[in-house]
Amino acid sequence: MNAPRLSFRCALLAANASALAIAAVLAACAATPPPPAAPNPLRAPASHDDRMAWWRDARFGLFLHWGLYAIPAGKWRDQTGYGEWIRDSARIPREVYAEFQPNWNPTAFDADAWARMAKDAGMKYVVITSKHHDGFCLWDSAETDWDVGRTPHGRDVLAELAAACRAHGLAFGTYHSIMDWHHPDYLPRRPWETTRPTKGADFTRFERHLRAQVTELVQRYQPSVMWFDGEWEATWSHERGVSLFEHCRALAPGMLVNNRVDVHRGGMAGFSTAAGAVGDFATPEQEIPATGLPGVDWESCMTMNSHWGWNAADRAWKSTQDLLRNLIDIASKGGNYLLNIGPRADGTFPPESVERLAQIGAWMRTNGEAIHGTTASPFDALPWGRCTSKRAGGRTTLYLHVFDWPTDGVLRVPGLGGTPRSARLLGDPNRELTATATEAGVEIAVPPAAIDAIATVVALEIAGEPLVFRAPTITAELDAFVRDLAVAVQAADPRIEVRATTDGSEPDAGAPIVRGPLRVTATTTVQAAGFWQGKRRTPVVVRTFTQATPLPPVKARPTKDGLVAERFAVDWKAIPDDRASLSASGREVVGSVGPLTDVGERVAFVYRGFLVVPQDDVYRFALTSDDGSKLWLDGQVVIDHDGLHAPTEKRGEVALAAGLHAIEVAWFNASGGATLDLQWAAPGQPFAPLSAASTRH
């Protein structure tokens, strides 16, 4: 076996260590596995984890929004607030927008410089817009003339950037819009395109075009990531998304495909919750989830200023501190950070972007090990900053990213049990720190001043898995119940003993140990805390469960199955209180509320009838819509999902007695996608659509 090769950092540590410590340093460095390389996307990985390994290690990537929209630089007529959506938001006719194509001539485009800046910033992958919603392609496509091949520039942007990325050790990815405002078969048209006919347009034919272009991208450029977008309009469906996802898998089994290939990402929050949703990772946009989601891969894509595409008037540049702390925050929650730049029309990055990339790179050269290859923090929160974690062999390194440096020379890590092995500053590898276990956690003696004002990183090494005294969880299917309810009280770590009470007192060392679910049969307040070696070591958590009185059934004698659905031509921004006076343009009997197909825009539906409830219980309802919707039962609002929004789900619950209950659902679509779905569930049962057998009119 060959001797292990040591990184420069490991060699430096070994050179400066005492003679007695050299062997330990070398062993630690040799035990750290090399980062996984982006696999050949055309080769089938051994497992899903193998496919995701390089991406999980990367944690940091560059997003590039570049296209014809860079030419007007955000300005149209007297308005300067536009970006990559300028054709739609400024209402530029197709033939007028087409005049930008002969002006595409980015003579300063240097793919090697772009890739080098990304690498120097500590990024591990690049994703560029192969085609945005305007349909213009950054490669010479055999499927269309609406591409760079028919411009004065003529060069294949994707080919040059893919080669440059691989030369610099970066994975290459392509963003590809499902929506296409240029293609004659794409539907729907923009609402303002009243003079552009739809006669003869065939969305199924467009779908074949889309798949053909995806095939081109994969076969020519072998992207490691296919980053879809523009999936929210009504013409795209879950079934089409699954088919395109499977097409990508067949073309490149090792390629990652984001969840926007499907229709269930839940708006800007970006997480798919629907059963059967496909996609390798979730895609929060312009936001960072409040907490991570264990077991779910996700990536927050965010801009450096306010626009994705180049806008010359946009001066709202985020500071380097904000950008770096976003990266740290995202990594501490187990996610990836895809940071966007909108290159200028000449092919150069804005100077502000270049400056920030360089400053981020300076921090990453010192602290990159605290980002790459790390997993989420074991702590719920820390008062002074964030934590990332890395496991190697029988040890764990906790990287403590300190935003607020302690003024008394002691960094306190609350709630951390066990005995620390060592501590060091990433910015000063020659300085060893003293770490001491206390009853409250671990205390680390640190220098009086921070090394870096943005974030100074302390690497704390412990043996095995960290023992963190996090509060236990109290969970149940519902907060209310009719007969009884199972309540689970669980420790965050199985090594911690949980004690709970139901008599109103706080748990102490004499309280009962929780050994299984608690069953409550009356309104009850459960209090729980974690104990270690006979002492309470976590905060007390409290949750109350209420025995509910079901709404009585209504006295009605409907004779037919199903609900009455009425259609209205409206221009709502919200559901009005007075719906009885509306004149319906259509009426039919349906067995369920949604799904909808080809209903158009500026339309509303109101469903009325009775719900057949089989037994007294608390029932859950899930209402998904785009745009607004509301659910009433016996005149009470159960779910208010009103207003203009993308397809999202909202839930409610209500106690109902056996029998008939008046139900009303109102929904409207102002523009864009038209989504509606109502499902319900009894305790312990999965959600299911309403059926003709469970409704009457």
Average pLDDT, the chain: 92
Whole-angstrom distance, CA of residue 310 vs CA of residue 55: 27
Whole-angstrom distance, CA of residue 387 vs CA of residue 470: 15
- Predicted confidence at residue 1, as pLDDT, reads 33
pLDDT digits (tens, 9 = 90+) for 528-545: 999 999 999 999 999 999
Helix (H), strand (E) at residue 624: strand 617-626
Tell me the backbone φ, ψ of residue 632, rounded to 5 degrees. -115, 140
Structure tokens at 12: 């430096």
- DSSP classification of residue 99: G
Read off the pLDDT of each residue in 220-233 and give the average, rounded to a whole number: 96
DSSP readout, 482-547? Answer: SS-EEEEEE-SSTTSEEEEESSSSPP-TTSPBP-S-EEESSSEEEEEEEEETTEE-S--EEEEEEE
pLDDT digits (tens, 9 = 90+) for 286-324: 999 998 888 899 999 999 999 999 999 999 999 999 999
**Where are the extended beta strands (E) located within 5-59?**
none
Task: Tell me, letter by letter, the H, E, C secondary structure of 392-415.
Answer: ECCEEEEEEEECCCCCCCEEEEEC
Read off the pLDDT of each residue in 547-570 and give the average, rounded to a whole number: 93
Whole-angstrom distance, CA of residue 382 vs CA of residue 297: 23
Whole-angstrom distance, CA of residue 418 vs CA of residue 371: 24
The CA–CA distances, whole Å, from 143 to 175, 182, 183, 213 equal 17, 13, 11, 7
Structure tokens at 308: 């994705």
**What is the amino acid identity at position 666?**
A
- Predicted confidence at residue 22, as pLDDT, reads 39
Whole-angstrom distance, CA of residue 14 vs CA of residue 514: 48
pLDDT digits (tens, 9 = 90+) for 322-356: 999 999 999 999 999 999 999 999 999 999 999 99
Whole-angstrom distance, CA of residue 444 vs CA of residue 462: 13
Q: Cα dihedral angle (440, 444, 450, 455), rounded to 10 degrees?
A: -60
pLDDT digits (tens, 9 = 90+) for 85-120: 999 999 999 999 999 999 999 999 999 999 999 999
pTM (2 decimals)? 0.86
- Predicted confidence at residue 6, as pLDDT, reads 32
Whole-angstrom distance, CA of residue 624 vs CA of residue 649: 4
- DSSP classification of residue 204: H
Domain boundary assignment for the chain: 1-32, 48-366, 375-468, 473-547, 563-696
Give the strands of the sheet with 428-438, arranged side by side: 385-392, 395-402, 456-463, 420-425, 428-438, 441-445, 410-414
Residue 119 has a CB neighbour count (10 Å cut-off) of 19
CATH for 375-468 is: 2.60.40.1180
- Predicted confidence at residue 649, as pLDDT, reads 86
Residue 12 pLDDT > 60 = no
Residue 11 pLDDT > 80 = no
pLDDT digits (tens, 9 = 90+) for 370-418: 999 999 999 999 999 999 999 998 899 999 999 999 999 999 999 999 8
Residue 488 pLDDT > 70 = yes
- Predicted confidence at residue 623, as pLDDT, reads 95
- Predicted confidence at residue 553, as pLDDT, reads 96
Q: Which of 151-165, 219-233, 257-271 shows the lowest mean pLDDT across its residues?
A: 257-271
Residue 79 pLDDT > 80 = yes
Cβ–Cβ < 8 Å for 402, 450: yes
Read off the pLDDT of each residue in 490-512 and give the average, rounded to a whole number: 95
Cβ–Cβ < 8 Å for 36, 54: yes
Residue 587 has a CB neighbour count (10 Å cut-off) of 9
Residue 598 pLDDT > 80 = no
Residue 272 has a CB neighbour count (10 Å cut-off) of 20
Helix axis angle, 111-120 relative to 157-167, nearest 10°? 40
Residue 671 has a CB neighbour count (10 Å cut-off) of 16
Residue 3 pLDDT > 60 = no
Cβ–Cβ < 8 Å for 601, 671: yes
Residues 6 or more apart whose Cβ sits within 8 Å of residue 225: 55, 125, 127, 171, 173, 174, 255, 256, 257, 258
Structure tokens at 195: 């003079």
Cβ–Cβ < 8 Å for 281, 250: no
**What is the amino acid identity at position 334?**
G
- Predicted confidence at residue 294, as pLDDT, reads 85
pLDDT digits (tens, 9 = 90+) for 238-260: 999 999 999 999 999 999 999 99
Structure tokens at 363: 């921090």
pLDDT digits (tens, 9 = 90+) for 445-457: 999 999 999 999 9
> Does 627 sit behind a cis peptide bond, omega within 30 degrees of 0 on the bond before it?
yes
pLDDT category of residue 29 using cuts at 50, 70 and 90: very low
- Predicted confidence at residue 234, as pLDDT, reads 81
Helix axis angle, 203-221 relative to 238-251, nearest 10°? 30
Residues 6 or more apart whose Cβ sits within 8 Å of residue 130: 137, 138, 139, 158, 174, 175, 176, 217
Whole-angstrom distance, CA of residue 83 vs CA of residue 81: 7
Give the strands of the sheet with 473-475, arranged side by side: 473-475, 485-490, 518-520
Q: Is 321 exposed, middle or buried (0-12, 13-18, 19+ CB in 10 A)?
A: middle
pLDDT category of residue 33 using cuts at 50, 70 and 90: low
Selected residue with higher pLDDT from 419 and 142:
142
Tell me the backbone φ, ψ of residue 400, rounded to 5 degrees. -95, 105
pLDDT category of residue 265 using cuts at 50, 70 and 90: confident
Helix axis angle, 351-367 relative to 111-120, nearest 10°? 40
Whole-angstrom distance, CA of residue 184 vs CA of residue 250: 28
Read off the pLDDT of each residue in 469-475 and give the average, rounded to a whole number: 95
Cβ–Cβ < 8 Å for 277, 231: no
Residue 613 has a CB neighbour count (10 Å cut-off) of 21
- Predicted confidence at residue 632, as pLDDT, reads 97
Cβ–Cβ < 8 Å for 285, 268: yes
- Predicted confidence at residue 578, as pLDDT, reads 83
- Predicted confidence at residue 301, as pLDDT, reads 98
Cβ–Cβ < 8 Å for 328, 452: no
Residues 6 or more apart whose Cβ sits within 8 Å of residue 179: 133, 186, 229, 230, 231, 233
Nearest to 600 by CA among 92, 197, 235, 239: 235
Read off the pLDDT of each residue in 583-610 and give the average, rounded to a whole number: 88
Strands 125-131 and 60-64 turn out to be: parallel
pLDDT digits (tens, 9 = 90+) for 203-216: 999 999 999 999 99
Fold of 48-366: TIM Barrel (3.20.20)
pLDDT category of residue 32 using cuts at 50, 70 and 90: low
Cβ–Cβ < 8 Å for 402, 384: yes
Whole-angstrom distance, CA of residue 406 vs CA of residue 152: 58
Pick the CATH number of 563-696 from 3.40.50.2300, 3.90.1150.10, 3.40.250.10, 3.90.182.10: 3.90.182.10
DSSP readout, 119-175? Answer: HHTT--EEEEEEE-TT--BSS--TT-SSBGGGSSS---HHHHHHHHHHHTT-EEEEE
